[in-house]
Amino acid sequence: MRRILTLSLLMVALVGLAGAQGTVGNQADAENEKDVLKVERQKDQALRNRDIAALERIYADDLAFVNGRGQVITKTQHLEEIRAGNVKYLSSDRSDFHVHVYGSTAVLTGRENSTVEYHGKTIASPRQFMTVYVKLDGQWKYVAHQVTPVAEK
Amino acid sequence: MRRILSLSLLAVAFLGLARAQGTARSQTDAEIEEEVLKVEHEKDQAMQNGDVATLDRIYADKLIFVNPRGQVLSKAQRLADVKPGNLDYVNFKRSDYTLHVYGNTVVLTGLSSSLVHYHGQLIRTPRQFMQVYVKENGQWRMVSHHANFVSEK
């Protein structure tokens, strides 16, 4: 009986130690990618519909946002631009889309070919973008975004 | 003797389970910022010196590097790009650093006013950049870099 108890405890000890080695990133990267893409689609829909409430929920409060002119704007400034109708997403078209997952961080990159109206000016030229999501308190939050016009060759 | 062995194994079992819950000491945001800035400065020095070995260590293998022309470079392409003759710094100036810390992820933004020769062309225009660092196996790695020319106002 004592031998069985000793062996059982030994097994628990070994399982516990083995578990401690693999506890980084409890959710598989594939599952995280799927969850992030769902939030990304919600965000894109919210931008097209100028749904400030949804964007308020998805954007992190300390969002780092750099527009195509190299200007750094805050979450409040970006939402105000959308609310005021200074930014309108007229179509949605992306290519070369990649998602890199690092545990509870996802970096999305791609080519934005959509047409945007920015302060009355129509922008249709391609832009290379990077978006960063981080899982905070169980929710994927959009923490950073930068977009660069692609220079003509 | 058997009782001592049983108690010892029980202790090891609980230790394994406790580690599995993630009881490692968490760092403060200030400590994390300090660590990342140290790696960032090492990286900056390596860029100026064409030190590919150091950059190879700091850049993640799946690095996504977007230059101000909107061109996407892989790690291998970026390492080839920093060799003397391709990228030569006349001076090195960076400012307006902001770090956003999310546990094992840091988003770093800043302004580069460095004067640099890039493939024979002198670049004077300031660039707004965003970098993402992720802590992997105890080391901070740069997983992405994105830069824009700052438009004149």
When the pLDDT of each residue in chain A is averaged and rounded to a whole number, the result is 87
d(CA B8, CA A6): 10
When the pLDDT of each residue in chain B is averaged and rounded to a whole number, the result is 88
Higher-confidence position of A139 and A152: A139
Q: Model-level pTM?
A: 0.82
Q: Is B128 on the interface with A (CB under 8 A)?
A: yes
d(CA A140, CA B150): 30
Q: What are the chain A neighbours of B15 within 8 Å (beta carbons)?
A: 13, 16-17
Residue B23 pLDDT greater than 50, yes or no: no
Least confident interval from A33-47, A115-129, B6-20, B130-144: B6-20
What is the per-residue pLDDT for A56? 98
Nearest to B132 among A10, A107, A136 (CB): A107
d(CA A122, CA A124): 6
Residue B153 pLDDT greater than 50, yes or no: yes
Residues A124, A128, A133: CA angle, nearest 5 degrees: 120
Does A62 sit within 8 Å of B13, measured CB to CB? no
